[in-house]
Amino acid sequence: MNVWGYWKCPYCGETVRADHKDCPKCGTSIPNDVKFFMDTSKPIEYVDKEQESDEENWLCSYCRCQNPAQAEVCESCGAQKSDALGTYHNRPEPIKTEPEPEPRPKQRRQRDPEPKRKRSIFKLLLFPMIMLVILIYSWYIKPVEREGEVIGFSWQQEIGVEEFNTFRESDWNVPSGGTVVSSNREIRSYRNVLDHYEYKTKRVAKKVKDGYDVKYKDMGNGQFKEIKTPRYKTVYEEKKVKEPVYRQEPIYDTKYYYNIDKWKETDALRTSADDHEPKWAETDLPTNVESPKYGDKRQGSRRGTYWAIIKDDKGNEQRLECSLDEWKDLKEGDKVKYKTSRNSDEPL
C-alpha cells in the first residue's frame, strides 16, 4: 500500500502533503527541485487505490518542472516527455533541499534509552572479548622453547628374557597351534535396545509474531510504498516430550580357553648408570634356539632409555630424554634447546 509523503514550503517552512501543489499557508507553489519525505509525527494517510502509482516523476528539460509519469507533455510549459532531462531519482545535478524532520522516537526509547545502549556496547565487545580469551588460552598452553647446558648423562637398558613353554590363554578365536581346553558362552559386548518411552516436561522455545517493522520506500512521485516486515519474539512454554529409554542388552559369544606352546617374555636383564657409556647386561642366553624344548630360554628384544642431565636457565637440573643417536652425539658443556610448558621448567 502507498501512503502520502510531504514537501516543505521553501518560503514559510510549512509541511505540505505531496498531492497539494501549493502551500495552504502562504500559497507558494511546489518547487521544481522538490524532495519528498515522510513525516512520522503526522498521522499516516493512505493513497486511494485509483491514485496509487509506483512510477516516478520526470523532469522537463526546459523549465525543470516535475511531471507525473503518465503526463506526455510538461504541465508547466508543454514540452514533450521524450525530451525529459531525467527522472526524480536520476537527476542531472544534486538538489539542495531542506533537511527532513527526524521521526518522532518511540515512547519506550525515551523512557529508558540507557539499557539498550549498554546492550549494544556489550554486543560489540562480546566477540573481541571471546577472541581475546581464546588467544590468551592458546598462548598459555602453547609450549615454549628453553635452553640448557649438558652437565651429565644417564641411561637404562634391558634385554628381554623369553621362555618357551605351554601357556594358558583365552580369546574369541583359537590361534594356530592352540589346543582348546574348554569354552564358555560369555558377554562379548553390549547393545542398546529400546525398553520403553517416558514423558518428560521440557521448556521449549518458539517464535511468535510481535507486530511489524515498517519502512517507507520513496516512489519519486510524492507517494511512499509501505513495506511491512513481521517482527518476532521468543517465548517459552512447558511441553510434554516423549523420549525413548534404552537398556543395555548383552551380546554373548563363545570364548575359548586353550593351551599354546610359544615363546613369551617372562623376565628382563637390566643395567643402568649415570655416565655416557651404556652397556648391555652380560648373559649366556642364546639369541635363537632351534627345536626348543619346554623350559628353554633365549634373549628377547633389547630396549633402552637415555637422558641428558641439563642445567636450565634458573640453575635447576632437568632430565631431558633423547633418542640413542642424539644422546651419543652430545657432550658435557653443549647447549641444547628443549620445550616446556609456560608454568613449568621440566622438559615435555
Contacts of residue 128, Cβ cutoff 8 Å, sequence gap at least 6: none
Q: According to the model, what pLDDT value does residue 99 have?
A: 54
Q: Domain residue spans in the chain?
A: 1-104, 112-141, 158-304
Q: According to the model, what pLDDT value does residue 338 have?
A: 87
The DSSP symbol for 95 reads -
- pLDDT > 70? residue 265: yes
pLDDT digits (tens, 9 = 90+) for 100-119: 555 554 444 445 555 556 66
Q: According to the model, what pLDDT value does residue 66 have?
A: 92
- CA–CA distance, 33 with 41 (Å, rounded to integer): 24
pLDDT digits (tens, 9 = 90+) for 208-230: 999 999 999 999 999 999 999 99
User: pTM score, two decimals?
Assistant: 0.47
- CA–CA distance, 264 with 164 (Å, rounded to integer): 7
Task: Give the helix ranges, DSSP H, for 89-112.
Answer: 107-111
pLDDT digits (tens, 9 = 90+) for 13-52: 999 999 999 999 999 999 988 999 999 888 899 999 999 9
